[in-house]
């Protein structure tokens, strides 16, 4: 409860109120308290402005128990998610006559099978926080956004940045944590599995997503699918597919209750059609990590590995300037091979010696015999795995410029409000 004191300097908050309201045996992290107080404040402000036509007159108020209770309810509804709100249908229960939906259904990943949570993603703190704030509540409590025309949940978020920085992981974590089904679509899957049927496929993606809501439609390499319309030589079928996508996407905005979110990712946001950019009002840059963030990512990647006591993660972080999360993963995998290779070589030598000396062959080693990872393994791996993106490449410069224009805080950003578009 002591952490609540930080608010006491800014607002007159009765800490004891919260203690009596909140279920005591639950852990109250700083994040939970922020959520409670945030919702309580907006609840109270709404009440205050309703009763006081000029809110600038008196903004000195203490948070009422009622507002705090509202904050706690909101936190609990976010934490309990769809279990207490609308129950998610099991994918097996989805009845569909549509041949395309049936084919698609096989590729849908239910939230409990996605296997990625925000905890699995190192660093990217602010992107994770923004995503939580933007996505969780609208997907889980759409009824709160159904009143009036202004409060519509955000229906499109763009994750952009260099390759291998965790965009796909973030999209999966969003779906997992919001208890949403995950539908992954990309131009490559359309070309290989749905060739010539793009338009019908897109239509089925949206109709199925609505049936199995809450759902996240993840459009990987969105520039390939929804790139600039004026592309010379663009195939007629491609143009029709894009139009179908836009029409169905717009349909989501009018049917807010269906809890469908389009999450798009690209390394080339500057190739996107303006109409697509407009439909993605929140655009989050997922950049290459700096040294301290590389350390965080390495620590997540190595969380379940056997490490030497003196292994210095900071030293690895300093060794890997310009590495993406994916490069760091490759480095760690390569490093983890070295103790196994070492063991196999030792085994081979012992067997050869036993044969020469006409002794019975020694038993094969087990995983228990594999030694812990040392800094030398990472130094060796570093010689084999290098950064896949150059931080001063043209693409990187273009990404930074695009972020300045269209990203969060950019001069051509279409909205500043968090949940809404």
CB closest to ligand ATP, residue no: 325
Q: For residues 39 and 70, is the Cβ–Cβ distance under 8 A?
A: yes
Member of 68, 137, 169, 175 binding ligand ATP (CB under 6 A): 169
Q: Pick from 144, 300, 340, 343: which binds ligand ATP (CB under 6 A)?
A: 300
Binding status of residue 164 toward ligand ATP by CB under 6 A? yes
Binding to ligand ATP (CB under 6 A): which residues in 332-361? none
CA distances from 75 to 119, 140, 211 (A): 19, 12, 27
What's the min distance (Å) between Cβ of 171 and ligand ATP? 8
In the complex, least distance from residue 267 CB atom to ligand ATP, rounded to whole angstroms: 5
DSSP secondary structure letters along 88-154? PPPGGG-----HHHHHHHTT-B-HHHH---GGGS-S-HHHHHHHIIIIIHHHH-GGGG-STTT--B-
Which parts of 302-331 interact with ligand ATP (CB under 6 A)?
325-326, 329
Find the binder of ligand ATP among 124, 185, 272, 302 (CB under 6 A).
Answer: 124
Residue 167 within binding range of ligand ATP, rule CB under 6 A: yes
Single out the segment in contact with ligand ATP by CB under 6 A; choices: 21-29, 141-149, 185-193, 297-305.
297-305
Name the 3-class secondary structure at 239: helix
Closest by alpha carbon to 156, among 291, 272, 12, 78? Answer: 272
* Residues contacting ligand ATP: total by CB under 6 A: 19
Instruction: Centre a 10 Å sphere on the Cβ of residue 296 and count the other Cβ atoms it contains.
Output: 17
> Could you tell me which of 248, 222, 38, 217 has the C-alpha nearest to residue 139?
217
- Region binding ligand ATP by CB under 6 A among candidate stretches 17-25, 159-167, 176-184, 243-251: 159-167
Alpha-carbon distance of 273 to 193, in angstroms, equals: 25
What is the DSSP track for 363-420? PPP-GGGSPPB-HHHHHHHHHH---SS-TTSHHHHHHHHHHHHHSTT-TT-S---SSB
Contacts with ligand ATP, 262-291, as mask; x by CB under 6 A: ---x-x------------------------
Smallest distance, ligand ATP to C-beta of residue 177, A = 15
Among 81, 166, 214, 281, binds ligand ATP (CB under 6 A): 166
Measured CA to CA, the distance from residue 174 to residue 265 in angstroms comes to 13
Considering beta carbons, is residue 82 or 407 the nearer one to ligand ATP?
Answer: 407
Cβ-in-10-Å burial (0-12, 13-18, 19+) of 134 comes to: buried
Among 109, 114, 121, 136, binds ligand ATP (CB under 6 A): 121
Among the candidate windows 50-58, 86-94, 165-173, 365-373, which touches ligand ATP by CB under 6 A?
A: 165-173
Provide the sign of the torsion angle of the four alpha carbons 196, 200, 204, 205, taken in this order. positive
Q: Does 165 bind ligand ATP (CB under 6 A)?
A: yes
Give least dist CB 225 to ligand ATP, A. 14
Q: Which is nearer to ligand ATP, 248 or 267 (CB)?
A: 267
Q: H or E element: which one contains 355?
A: helix 325-356
In the complex, what is the shortest distance from the CB of residue 15 to ligand ATP, in angstroms, rounded to a whole number? 36
Binding part of the chain for ligand ATP, among 1-9, 117-125, 150-158, 373-381 by CB under 6 A, reads 117-125
> What's the closest the beta carbon of residue 95 comes to ligand ATP, in angstroms?
33
> CA 108, CA 101: separation in Å to the nearest integer?
10
Residue 115 engages ligand ATP in binding (rule: CB under 6 A): no
* Greatest Cα pair distance in the chain: 97
The tokens 């309810």 sit on which residue? Answer: 73
Task: Give me the residues that bind ligand ATP (CB under 6 A), please.
Answer: 121-124, 163-169, 265, 267, 297, 300-301, 325-326, 329
């Amino acid at each position: 409860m002591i952490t609540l004191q930080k608010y006491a300097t800014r607002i007159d908050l009765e800490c004891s109120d919260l203690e009596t309201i909140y279920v005591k045996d639950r852990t109250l992290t700083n994040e939970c308290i922020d959520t409670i107080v945030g919702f309580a404040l907006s609840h109270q402000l709404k009440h205050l402005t309703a009763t006081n036509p000029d809110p600038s007159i008196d903004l000195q108020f203490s948070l009422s128990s009622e507002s705090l209770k509202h904050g706690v309810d909101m936190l609990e509804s976010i934490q309990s998610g769809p279990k207490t709100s609308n129950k998610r249908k099991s994918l097996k229960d989805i009845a569909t006559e549509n041949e395309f939906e049936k084919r698609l259904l096989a590729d849908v990943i239910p939230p409990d099978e996605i296997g990625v949570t925000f905890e699995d993603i190192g660093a990217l703190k602010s992107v994770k926080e923004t995503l939580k704030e933007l996505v969780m509540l609208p997907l889980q409590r759409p009824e709160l956004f159904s009143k009036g025309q202004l409060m519509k949940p955000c229906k499109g978020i763009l994750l952009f940045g260099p390759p291998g920085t965790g965009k796909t992981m973030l999209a999966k974590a969003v779906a997992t944590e919001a208890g949403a089904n995950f539908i992954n679509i990309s131009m490559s899957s359309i070309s290989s599995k749905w060739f010539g049927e793009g338009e019908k496929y897109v239509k089925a993606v949206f109709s199925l997503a609505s049936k199995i809501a809450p759902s996240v439609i993840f459009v990987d390499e969105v520039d390939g699918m929804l790139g600039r319309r004026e592309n010379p030589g663009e195939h007629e079928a491609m143009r029709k597919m894009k139009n179908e996508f836009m029409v169905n996407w717009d349909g989501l905005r009018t049917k807010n209750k269906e809890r469908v979110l389009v999450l798009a990712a690209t390394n080339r946001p500057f190739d996107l059609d303006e109409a697509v950019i407009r439909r993605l009002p929140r655009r989050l840059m997922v950049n290459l990590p700096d040294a301290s963030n590389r350390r965080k990512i390495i620590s997540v990647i190595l969380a379940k590995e056997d490490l030497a006591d003196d292994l210095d993660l900071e030293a690895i972080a300093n060794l890997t300037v310009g590495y993406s999360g994916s490069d760091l993963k490759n480095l760690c995998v390569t490093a983890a091979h070295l103790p196994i290779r070492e063991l196999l070589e030792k085994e081979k030598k012992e067997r050869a010696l036993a044969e020469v000396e006409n002794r019975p062959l020694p038993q094969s080693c087990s995983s228990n015999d594999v030694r812990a990872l040392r800094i030398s393994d990472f130094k060796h791996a570093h010689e084999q795995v290098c950064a896949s993106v150059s931080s001063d490449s043209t693409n990187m410069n273009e990404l930074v410029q695009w972020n300045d224009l269209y990203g969060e805080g950019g001069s051509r950003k279409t909205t500043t409000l968090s949940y809404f578009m």
